[in-house]
Amino acid sequence: MNYTYNYPIPALTVDIAVFKKTKEGYKILLIKRKSNPFMGMWALPGGFVDMDETIEVAATRELFEETSLSNILLEQFHVFSEVDRDPRGRTVSVVFVGFLEEPKEIKAGDDAEEACWFEIINLPELAFDHLKIIRMIEEMKLN
């Protein structure tokens, strides 16, 4: 079906925050972006929702494509819809949270140059509004 609307339509994305608990505290999985915007910066894994998939399928797909992680229970956390959160245009993101219960190998792929675990108390500079997202998860889920 093709629809035409007389008003702009925002893009829909998913971002995935995967945590693992260590003796020192929580670590979060981040990817280094391979392309603009924010090329070379660290970010949560994620991307655009395809027209033929649900947000849950998109989250699972994006996590696998960018980190090679699969079979992780992802829970919908919050919708981030600030008007200027993405320099490419109006973008709304549904954020999912998951916890890694057992060690799994991660491997960067797709538009991720690198994938790495970071202590949430010692994060690098992050792309988009991802620091805000992580801090909200930390406050609501990890305490």
Q: Which amino acid is at 54?
A: T
Residue keyed to tokens 């994938």: 115
Could you give the residue numbers annotated as active site?
A: 114
Contact 50, 19 (CB under 8 A): no
Strand extents, DSSP E, 50-90: 74-80
- Cα separation, 15 vs 8, whole angstroms: 22
Cβ-based neighbours of 98, under 8 Å, separated by 6 or more:
16, 17, 18, 19, 63, 72, 73, 74, 75
Provide CB contacts within 8 A for 86, sequence distance 6+.
Answer: 11, 13, 37, 128
